[in-house]
């Protein structure tokens, strides 16, 4: 039986939000959408963690989703980041994303206020009652301060419009339990764990390195789908040092934006409280990109 959110299987790229002189770089954003269409990326996800959503104003958040949906013009699927630790705000953002033409919403577990398991369930239930846009639940306790337990994820997964889970706990046990308890489509939320999660029954990845090497990530996924495990492992071994050495330099998306700047694809600008790489980290990043064959 196909998993519930099979329409979001494959490569989803968690897009950066380009800035120029502190403001939203709309032309840069449109170029990124076109580039992903050319590269064959399956789905793009604006205004997630990688898109620096915490520092965008509400107007900017809506605008980014509008621009991405407008530029996509049905050529590529769009899953918009619409999560919040306020249920009313998450509803408002999800409703607006549907109006903009998004194909789905990536909704992070409420952060900072640490709800109970019942609270998590009621949060997602309220969103699904207000809007029927397909939802990918995003569980990342390292950023939200509380894990959504597998039993609760399975319960939330019974809500008709919750179709997938972006699994960012780093726990294979948690992923296995979710797959055993539900029919949700499991997507890796961590580039270096994509292949092991595929082995458990995962169906794709919401990727950060896909911002620079989408074709390589797609090649790994395609090899796995064909049952060519050796080729999938070869791609994993190539991608892994890039994931580890680039993303290990600093908090995402600081090193990613620096890499995109070096590759001529972004200004590299991040918003406070995020700060750019220092000279030593920059040097290390250049070495990593050279080793991969990107520079």
Which residue among 4, 98, 146, 166 is the active-site one? 166
State the virtual CA torsion across 223, 221, 231, 213 in degrees, nearest 10.
130
Count the Cβ atoms, other than its own, within 10 Å of residue 58: 11
DSSP for 37-65, please give it: HHHT-SEEE-SSTTTTGGGS-HHHHHHHH
Query: What's the Cα-to-Cα distance from 153 to each of 139, 148, 238, 262, rounded to whole Å?
Result: 9, 6, 33, 39
Residues near 203 by beta carbon (within 8 Å), at least 6 away in sequence: 3, 5, 6, 8, 9, 10, 185, 186, 187
Look up 138 and say whether it is catalytic.
yes
Measured in Å, how far apart are the chain's first and last C-alpha atoms?
Answer: 43
- Checking DSSP bridges between strand 185-188 and strand 10-14, what pairing results, if any? unpaired
Q: Which of 4, 138, 218, 257 is catalytic?
A: 138
Cβ pair 140, 167 in contact under 8 A: no
Q: Where are the beta strands (DSSP E) in 90-152?
A: 104-108, 135-139
DSSP 253: T
- As annotated, the active-site residues are 138, 166
């Amino acid at each position: 039986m196909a998993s519930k959110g099979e329409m979001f299987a494959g490569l989803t790229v968690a897009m950066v939000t380009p800035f120029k002189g502190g403001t939203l770089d709309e032309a840069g954003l449109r170029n990124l959408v076109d580039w992903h269409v050319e590269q064959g990326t399956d789905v793009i996800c604006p205004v997630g963690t990688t898109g620096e959503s915490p520092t965008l104003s509400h107007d900017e958040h809506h605008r980014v989703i509008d621009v991405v949906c407008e530029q996509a013009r049905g050529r590529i699927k769009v899953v918009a980041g619409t999560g919040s630790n306020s249920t009313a705000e998450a509803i408002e953002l999800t409703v607006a994303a549907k109006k903009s033409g998004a194909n789905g919403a990536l909704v992070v577990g409420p952060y900072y206020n640490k709800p109970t398991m019942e609270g998590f369930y009621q949060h997602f239930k309220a969103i699904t009652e207000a809007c029927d846009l397909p939802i990918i639940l995003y569980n990342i306790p390292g950023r939200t301060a509380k894990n959504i337990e597998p039993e609760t994820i399975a319960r939330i997964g019974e809500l008709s419009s919750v179709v997938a889970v972006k699994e960012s706990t780093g726990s294979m046990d948690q992923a296995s339990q979710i797959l055993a308890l539900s029919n949700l489509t499991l997507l890796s939320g961590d580039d270096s764990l994509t292949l092991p999660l595929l082995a458990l029954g995962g169906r794709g990845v919401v990727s950060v390195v896909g911002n620079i090497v989408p074709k390589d990530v797609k090649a790994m996924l395609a090899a796995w789908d064909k049952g060519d495990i050796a080729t999938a492992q070869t791609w994993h071994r190539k991608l892994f040092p890039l994931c580890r050495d680039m993303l290990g330099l600093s908090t995402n998306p600081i090193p990613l934006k620096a890499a995109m700047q070096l590759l001529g694809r972004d200004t590299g600008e991040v918003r406070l409280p995020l700060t750019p790489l220092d000279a030593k980290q920059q040097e290390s990043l250049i070495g990593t990109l050279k080793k991969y064959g990107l520079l």
